[in-house]
Structure 1
Amino acid sequence: MVSSTNLTGKLAVDVKGVNELRQAARQNSPEAIKSTAKQFEALFMNMVLKSMRDATPQNGMFDSDQSRMYTSMLDQQISQTMASRGIGLADVLARQLSGMAKSNDAPVSGVGDLSMPAGMEGLAQQSGQDPVRSNPTQAPHVRNFIDKLASHAAEASDVSGIPAKFMLGQAALESGWGRHEIKGVNGAQSHNLFGIKAGNGWKGKVVEAVTTEYVNGAPQTKREKFRAYDSYADAFKDYASLLKNNPRYENVIANAQDVNGFAQGLQRAGYATDPYYAAKLTRLIKQTMSA
């Protein structure tokens, strides 16, 4: 059993902590329900603090990506501390969840399946746990792309903490909404939607393809080796693992909840050589991805 002490000690938006919450919720016990409610209260407080920060000018002499990253970490811990003392929201959630558990013979299936009060659904979406859904206002090729890949993006989001719509947006930019997916010289399918190259450490399948790289701002055509996968699900898993486990992308993960910070972090980390990569990715996500 996962104890309430262990859970309340986690950061409010720690992905591993959320996964442990899901396991605890399946126990259908008062302690697990209380811990789940506490973490939702912490998440709510974190979003309140984030909104306050966003409303404050952050272009001063002492502001930087590093200072904003540590401020974000501080806000997470503050929200956890406030939730441990309680503001009343956790008690309301615990009462509702306890009532649900008593009215159903089946155990609670997980944090993501719990019926939340009005307004909490949007909070869960902002945490990056809910899958992106297409809508009728989007172009057909956008809807098809999202419908085909949304579930894979949601699974990768659970692992990495990166919102699913950010990953779908980057996959769309790299592959031209799936219409220019990397293929080998013999037309072999790669399922590589993120343009990830096969370096010396890659032990899986590869395909060779012509790509455009920018050297000193000037485009050059090169033939490179790219990673190849058996499925799109494997592509999203590898992408999530790359960003989560490579120190090079540490700042990207730290700013993953903000589209500008995410896109700019990727460019600074050298994910792509295109000098306008961050601007293109930010515009695509804001204009085409549903909230």
Structure 2
Amino acid sequence: MAFNPLPLNTGTSANGLAADTRSIDALRAAAARDPKGSIRETAKQFESLFMQEVMKSMRATTMSSGLMETSATQMGTEMLDTQFAGKMTGLPGGLTDAITRQLQRQMGISDASKSTASAASTPLPVLAKKGIAPHVQTFIQKHDAAAKEAQAATGIPASFMLAQAAHESGWGKREITNKDGSPSFNVFGIKATPGWTGKTTEVQTTEYIDGKPQKVTAKFRAYDSYADAFKDYAKLLGSNERYRDVVAKANGGTAETFARGLQKAGYATDPEYADKLARVINTTVRVQRALA
């Protein structure tokens, strides 16, 4: 939602200060009504107010002869200061970013830009020279924390789980969605078995029956977040008897043995699943080393 900037008083009178206070109160109220749509613009308005006060202070400490000054020149100076303040507002790494984070914390809003900033922590051109596509880097960094938590719960290397999520979701490009198009966060392609009591979604998928691919409609699990998906994956492998040997041998094992163990345990019907997954695991490990 677009945020309509409020007029900011640039005068130094008591009325001007009162107007600034009213503007701040109105900005807070707007952020409360529509936090996601207006919180950054609100932060920019706060920084603009601050920068204008800085300009006023600078002008106040400057020696003035008063010979050529009129009310018109004073107004022109104030307008120029406002323009300078506007140009200095909203710059990357400036006060707007700091104020935005503070408002988000106070209002209990998660910073959606964190994952983007994290994904950009390593320059993409450097990775591109190593043959690593940007979407691959982004996917791994986006889910790295959740994978490490799942590793602590199961002992399965985070790189193995990241690779499986990448393989099942096409590096995030073929994620399972709900009927309304919203994400199900099911990056592992885990089906909703009869004992599943959580949310579900139905999508068309490819199953291999007698070695031949066929399109079928299947019911899959749906989650509230990617972190929940990784936790459920860890629980599925850690508590299911048929994956016991896979989990036991995962830590210290190779990508190939882990992938073949999953296929043998019946995780997927694709006869080439183990080979495909092993290749993705090796890619994931290579990317993680490049990002280290």
Give the TM bin, normalised by the shorter chain: 0.5 to 0.7
The alpha-carbon deviation at position 189 of structure 1 amounts to: 1.4
Q: Distance in 1 between matches of 2:150 and 2:166?
A: 16
1:204 partnered with 2:198: yes
The alpha-carbon deviation at position 261 of structure 1 amounts to: 1.5
Structure 2 unaligned residues grouped into runs of 5+ = 1-120
Counterpart of 2:257 in structure 1 is 261
Instruction: Tell me the secondary structure at the aligned position of residue 228 of structure 2.
Output: helix
Counterpart of 1:112 in structure 2 is none
Letter in 2 for 1:180: R
Q: Return the TM-score normalized by structure 1.
A: 0.53
Counterpart of 2:266 in structure 1 is 270
- Out of 136, 152, 158, the position equivalent to 1:158 is 152
Letter in 1 for 2:236: L
Counterpart of 1:235 in structure 2 is 229
Larger Cα-atom Rg:
2
2:162–2:284 CA contact under 8 A, matched in 1: no
Instruction: Tell me the secondary structure at the aligned position of residue 255 of structure 1.
Output: helix
Instruction: Tell me the secondary structure at the aligned position of residue 250 of structure 2.
Output: coil
The alpha-carbon deviation at position 277 of structure 1 amounts to: 0.3
Letter in 2 for 1:284: V
RMSD: 1.5
Letter in 2 for 1:269: A
Letter in 1 for 2:249: N
CA deviations over 1:147-191 (Å, ceiling 9, x no partner):
110000000000000000000000000000011000123313100
CA deviations over 1:61-120 (Å, ceiling 9, x no partner):
xxxxxxxxxxxxxxxxxxxxxxxxxxxxxxxxxxxxxxxxxxxxxxxxxxxxxxxxxxxx
The alpha-carbon deviation at position 287 of structure 1 amounts to: 2.8
2:159–2:284 CA contact under 8 A, matched in 1: no
The alpha-carbon deviation at position 225 of structure 1 amounts to: 0.5
1:152–1:232 CA contact under 8 A, matched in 2: yes
CA deviations over 1:12-54 (Å, ceiling 9, x no partner):
xxxxxxxxxxxxxxxxxxxxxxxxxxxxxxxxxxxxxxxxxxx
Deviates most, 252-261 or 196-205: 252-261
Aligned pairs, number: 159
Letter in 2 for 1:279: D
Letter in 2 for 1:283: R
Counterpart of 2:278 in structure 1 is 282
Q: Distance in 1 between matches of 2:141 and 2:212?
A: 36
Letter in 2 for 1:243: L
Query: Share of identical aligned residues, percent?
Result: 57
The alpha-carbon deviation at position 254 of structure 1 amounts to: 1.6
Q: Return the TM-score normalized by structure 2.
A: 0.53
1:188–1:207 CA contact under 8 A, matched in 2: no
Instruction: Tell me the secondary structure at the aligned position of residue 268 of structure 2.
Output: coil
The alpha-carbon deviation at position 283 of structure 1 amounts to: 1.0
Q: Distance in 1 between matches of 2:239 and 2:138?
A: 30
